[in-house]
Structure 1
Amino acid sequence: MAKDDLPEPKRRNKTLSVADALAGALDPVLKKRGFAGRDIITHWRSIAPPPFDATTQPDKLSWPRAERSAEGATLYLRCAPGQALFAQHEAPAIAAAVNRYFGYLLVNDVRLSAEPFTPGSGQRMQKPRQPSQSEIAKVGKATEMVEDDDLREALQALGLALSGRSKPKAE
């Protein structure tokens, strides 16, 4: 096939989010793991009851081979070290939470996966930065003319938060 025979790529004159752009690449992988969509993985923190929202991750859904119904899958969870016994004990509560989220009997059983647990990277707690006295004075001077107390306090909080951002380097 010659290069001239290739069709012109279809252009979308709009911006796409990374999630939308990668959806086509992720869907076949998720289907191999038994997931019909990304909902259970992307919304796991709101689906799972605490503390399982932070200590477990869905690994795969295993559907019964003999039955034709779409209900009653086994959900395999990756579990944080030291939490496996607790997660296994509370498996019915986890299954009930998943079924409540979706509104029908999706998960019949919850089991633990042998795969290692990899927690999310966005959970590190950052130490709040204390603004310097000069920053406090500068923000106070900029907002002293605002008459409404609530608005002034909100603007001061915003000013102090913005003063903590890294400043661009002068070349």
Structure 2
Amino acid sequence: MSETNKKQFIRRGAHQIAEVANGIIDPVLAKRAGISTALLGSWDEIAGEDFAECTRPEKIAWPRREPGTDTGYQAGTLTIACEGARALFLSHAQGELIGRINAFFGFPAIRQIRILQKPVVQAPRHRPKPPPLKGEAARKLDEMMEGIDNDALRNAVTRLGTAVLQKKRTLRR
């Protein structure tokens, strides 16, 4: 295969959105908070079941280096937001959490944790199931799904169709 033919098969300009977003967000996070999107994205696994819901990494503070001195690498301090009384339990589990964080990074990046007691807002993990369709909407959805034999696809289309055909809720004040 010639070089020109090889170049035709190279994808140009096709990137995953996550790669583009991380490329934009990571430098900003690193400069302002010392944190990467990889740490934020993996926080649930790093923190574990006990602390995933009630904690969030805020920033990493790296020690300042004196100009002209080569003191080598020094680990930083990770600031974690934690809700209410869970902060006490987190303070007792600091050693284990530091070990998990450093294992994630692959080197001793964190030497201590600073805990801030404040609310941690997390996106809801599971939305409640909408009520099943009734009447004309249910018949319409059943007609649309005729011929779908695959159970997984049928369930997905049912969820989507229910969400689309559901009557809009009005907000009351």
TM score, norm. by length of structure 1: 0.63
Contact 1:55 1:80 (8 Å CA) reproduced: yes
Cα gap change, 1:72/1:24 in structure 2, threshold over 3 Å: closer, same or farther? closer
Alignment of 1:89-108 (within 5 A): 89-108=92-111
Task: Give the equivalent residue in structure 2 for 1:48.
Answer: 47
Flag structure 2 segments of 5+ consecutive residues without an equivalent. Answer: 1-16
Distance in 1 (CA, whole Å) between partners of 2:145 and 2:122 is: 37
Task: Compute the RMSD of aligned alpha carbons.
Answer: 3.6
Identity between Structure 1 and Structure 2 (%)? 23
In structure 1, the residue matched to 2:163 is: 161
Q: Distance in 2 between matches of 1:122 and 1:36?
A: 20
> 126-135 vs 91-100, which deviates more?
126-135
Distance 1:131 1:101, change over 3 A: same
1:58 matched residue in structure 2:
57
Aligned positions, number: 147
The alpha-carbon deviation at position 36 of structure 1 amounts to: 6.0
Tell me what 2:84 maps to. 81
**2: CA distance between counterparts of 1:148 and 1:23?**
44
SS class of match (2:85): coil
Q: 1:70 to 1:38 in 2, by over 3 A?
A: farther
1:65 to 1:57, Cα distance in 2 relative to 1, 3 A: same
Gaps of 5+ in 1: 1-15
